[in-house]
């Protein structure tokens, strides 16, 4: 994968013994559809106008800039729940301050449709989502439709039972795949920091994300992405909250039902660690030690690199597979922070998605597909 740049082997599959269907994901934007599921509905009153819109083949920042320009609003005052890829059809939500809803309804921007407008009392913030619903189509399959469906159902049965490894997808690491090495170089003082705060955040988060993928790949190799390791910090899937040290008997129940998940490190000085002397702690310390790093080095980025924890398992809800002509269709829902491409790769096997450049005037997404 491009983000590696010599750091680690390719990320292992959860289902390496099950054959994939090959093919291409996102041959066209219509083959990758995602709809945001908001954490709450608009209130119906307030100084902000809540907009539900559909965009095709453009980045979220580009879409927001276009709407803000037409409405005469500073784009910095626009609220948005999440960033989405360019090469897709996406349904999203945004808020615009002190704008009459009728003006938003009348917007005419190529590649963008306003679906619904309502009043709301506050600015939307990143992460104000309970998840995303995806509909993907894989084309150019290496086998016929019947065989593709058999293979897909076999993979789906595993993902329904165990979830997928919660890897960060390639989108996290930039178009050229060099964001993580550059972020590590900046943290170690061998490369200067960019002036732009968004770019600094992008590089730091890419470095943290790459190290998380390295950590998780070892667990997946050993069949442990959804299993307990002594000292693990657990996190409830639905409510998140604070991670806690989970006992083996408790983990067997909570991990088995999918109510909770083990977590892995997003390194930083404020990151909660597993207890000293436990196997879980040793695994995380090894990821840093092999690269001559400490968690404190991320403190050089200030509040950009404080650190947190991320579930190692990605719950795949409502997973359905079907064939559509010569293509394979996948439909499922993921919680915030989950990457649809991580799910799709289990079905494709060895045929990574096509990377696309950013739209004119846009920036590479700094967050996941959530």
**Residue 245 covered by a domain:** yes
Written as six digits, the tokens of 207 are: 């470095």
**Residue 46 covered by a domain:** no
Check: CB of residue 269 under 8 Å from CB of residue 295: yes
**Residue 302 covered by a domain:** yes
Query: What residues make up the domain containing 178?
Result: 165-314
CATH classification at residue 298: 3.30.2340.10
Report d(CA 123, CA 272) in Å as an integer.
30
Among residues 31, 77, 85, 232, which one is catalytic?
Answer: 85
**Residue 142 covered by a domain:** no
Residue 12, helix vs strand vs coil: coil
**Residue 112 covered by a domain:** no
Total structural domains in the chain?
A: 1
**Residue 137 covered by a domain:** no
Instruction: Please name the residues in contact with 211: beta carbons below 8 A apart, sequence gap of 6 or more.
Output: 265, 267, 287, 288, 291
Quick one: CA torsion of 33, 210, 59, 51, rounded to 10 degrees? 70
Which 8-state DSSP code applies to residue 31?
Answer: G
> For this structure, is 226 an active site residue?
no
Check: CB of residue 169 under 8 Å from CB of residue 355: no
**Residue 269 covered by a domain:** yes
Alpha-carbon separation of residue 27 from 31, 327, 348, 356 (angstroms): 7, 11, 14, 11
Check: CB of residue 228 under 8 Å from CB of residue 246: yes
Note down pLDDT in tens along the chain; length 370 residues.
Answer: 333 444 544 789 999 999 999 999 999 999 999 999 999 999 999 999 999 999 999 999 999 999 999 999 999 999 999 999 889 999 999 999 999 999 999 999 999 999 999 999 999 998 889 999 999 999 999 999 999 999 999 999 999 999 999 999 888 888 777 889 898 898 888 899 888 888 888 899 999 999 999 999 999 999 999 999 999 999 998 777 899 999 999 999 999 998 999 999 999 989 999 999 999 999 999 999 988 888 888 887 777 778 999 999 999 999 999 998 889 999 999 998 899 999 999 999 974 433 232 332 232 333 333 3
């Amino acid at each position: 994968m491009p983000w590696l740049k010599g750091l680690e082997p390719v990320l292992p599959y959860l289902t390496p013994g099950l054959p994939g269907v090959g093919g291409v994901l996102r041959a066209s934007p219509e083959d990758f559809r995602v709809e945001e599921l908001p954490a709450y509905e608009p209130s119906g009153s307030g100084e902000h106008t809540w907009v539900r819109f559909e965009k095709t083949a453009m980045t979220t920042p580009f879409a927001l800039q276009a709407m803000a320009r037409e409405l005469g609003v500073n784009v910095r005052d626009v609220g948005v729940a999440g960033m989405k890829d360019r090469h897709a059809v996406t349904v999203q939500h945004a808020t615009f301050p002190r704008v009459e809803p009728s003006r938003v309804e009348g917007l005419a921007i190529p590649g963008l449709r306003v679906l619904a407008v309502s009043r709301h009392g506050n600015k939307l913030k990143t992460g104000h989502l309970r998840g995303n619903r995806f509909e993907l189509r894989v084309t150019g399959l290496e086998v016929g439709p019947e065989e593709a469906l058999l293979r897909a159902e076999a993979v789906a049965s595993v993902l329904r039972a165990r979830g997928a490894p919660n890897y960060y997808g390639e989108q996290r690491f930039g178009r050229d795949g060099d964001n993580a090495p550059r972020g590590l170089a900046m943290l170690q003082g061998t490369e200067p920091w960019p002036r732009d705060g968004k770019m600094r955040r992008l590089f730091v988060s890419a470095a943290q994300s790459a190290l998380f993928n390295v950590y998780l790949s070892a667990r997946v190799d050993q069949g442990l992405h959804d299993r307990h390791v002594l000292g693990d910090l657990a996190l409830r899937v639905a409510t998140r909250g604070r991670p806690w040290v989970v006992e083996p008997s408790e983990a067997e129940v909570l991990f088995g039902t999918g109510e909770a998940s083990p977590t892995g490190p997003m390194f930083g000085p404020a990151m909660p660690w597993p207890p000293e002397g436990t196997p879980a702690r040793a695994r995380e310390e090894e990821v840093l030690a092999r690269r001559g790093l400490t968690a404190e080095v991320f403190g050089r980025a200030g509040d950009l690199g404080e650190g947190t924890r991320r579930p190692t398992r990605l719950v795949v809800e409502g997973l359905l597979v079907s064939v559509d002509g010569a293509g394979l269709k996948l439909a499922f829902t993921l919680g915030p922070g989950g990457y649809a491409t991580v799910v799709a790769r289990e079905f494709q096997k060895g045929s990574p998605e096509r990377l696309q450049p950013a739209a004119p005037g846009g920036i590479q997404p700094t967050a996941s597909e959530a």
